[in-house]
Amino acid sequence: MTSSLERPVQLAVENISLRFGGVMALGGLGFSVRNGEIFSIIGPNGAGKTSMLNCISGRYQPQRGTISFDGHDITHRPPAARARLGIARTFQNIALFKGMSVLDNLLIGRHIHLKSGLLRGGFYFGPCQKEEIEHRRIVEDIVDFLEIEHIRKRIVGTLAYGLQKRVELARALALNPKLILLDEPMAGMNLEETEDMVRFILDINQERGITVILVEHDMGVVMDISDHLVVLNFGEKIGEGSPDEVQADPEVIKAYLGGEDSVFLGR
C-alpha cells in the first residue's frame, strides 16, 4: 500500500496571511495536503482553523501567500471556480435550504455540473432530459451511500440535527469533489451520530478516494482517523506531523493539550 507521504501533493498552501483590520487571523501559514489522505487542522478556539478553510474554499481572500490545487493557482479564484475544480465543503453552522426537501438540496449541489442553459433547461426533452436523469442517478447513489433513503423526501428543516449534518455532507458529495473540507462535522452530535459520521468520512476517503481536510475538536476521532495533522495557535503553525508525532510535540502539549495530564494523551 502506498503511504501518505509517497502520494503526490494535491493542495499546497504557502505563506498565507489573513488580517481583519488590526487582527491577524493567519500569519504566514504553509502546509501541503497529499492526494487521498485525511488531513486534520487542530487548535484552540480562535486559532484560525475555519479561517484557513475559508481561504481554501474562496470565501476569504488572503492578503499574502498562494494556494495551489492540482497544479492550479486558486488564490484569487472565486468559490464557484474552485468548486468546478473539485473542492467542496461543509460548514460548522449548517447551511442547507431548510424549506426544501433532502433530494432538492442534493440536486442543487449538482448545479455546477449542469450543461444545459437556462433556455434549453426550460424544455424537458432530449439532452436536457438525459442530463437530469443522470444527475438524479448520482444523487440517489449518494442517498444510498450515506443511508438517508428514509428521509430523502423530507423537508430538511424538520429533521433532527444529526441528520441535517449528514444531508449537508451529502450535498457536498453531490459536487463530485476531489477534496472535501469538513468544518467540525461531529459538533453537537451524540455518540451514535459521531460514530456514524466517522464511518462515513472513512468510507468517503477510502471507497471514493476523496481527500479530506478535517477541522474537529474531538481529539479521539482526529487521532484515530488522520494521516497527517497541522496544529495552529493564534493563526500560526506550532506543530505538524503524524498523530504520534503531534501528540509527542512539547510545544503542542504546552500550547494546546494542557500539559502532561491532558486527556488528549490518553492519561
Task: Please report the beta strands in the chain, taking only residues with DSSP state E, as ranges in sequence order.
Answer: 9-20, 23-34, 38-42, 64-69, 72-73, 87-89, 179-183, 211-215, 228-233, 236-241
Looking at residue 235, its pLDDT comes to 94
CATH number of 1-86+177-267: 3.40.50.300
**pLDDT given for residue 127 in this prediction:** 60
Determine the longest span between alpha carbons in the chain, in angstroms: 66
Cα–Cα distance, 63 to 73 (Å, whole number)? 15
Which residue numbers in the chain have pLDDT < 50?
1, 117-123, 125, 260-267
Q: Say how far apart CA 143 and CA 127 lie, in whole Å.
A: 24
Total Cβ atoms within 10 A of residue 55: 24
| Separation of alpha carbons 181 and 49, rounded Å | 11
In whole angstroms, what is the distance from residue 59 CA to residue 87 CA? 12
**φ/ψ (deg, to 5) at 149:** -60, -40
pLDDT of residue 55: 97
Using one digit for the tens of pLDDT, what is the confidence trace for 69-101?
Answer: 999 999 999 999 999 999 999 987 777 888 999
Please state the pTM of the whole predicted model.
0.87
- pLDDT for position 256: 63
Nearest to 34 by CA among 207, 211, 169: 211
The pLDDT of residue 253: 84
Directed axis angle between helix 161-174 and helix 191-206, to 10°? 10
Q: What is the model's pLDDT at position 183? A: 94
Please give the pLDDT value at position 3: 62
pLDDT digits 0-9 by tens, 152-194: 999 999 999 999 999 999 999 999 999 999 999 998 899 999 9
Sequence-distant (6+) residues with CB within 8 A of 110 are: 135, 138, 139, 174, 175
- Residue intervals in the chain for CATH 3.40.50.300: 1-86+177-267
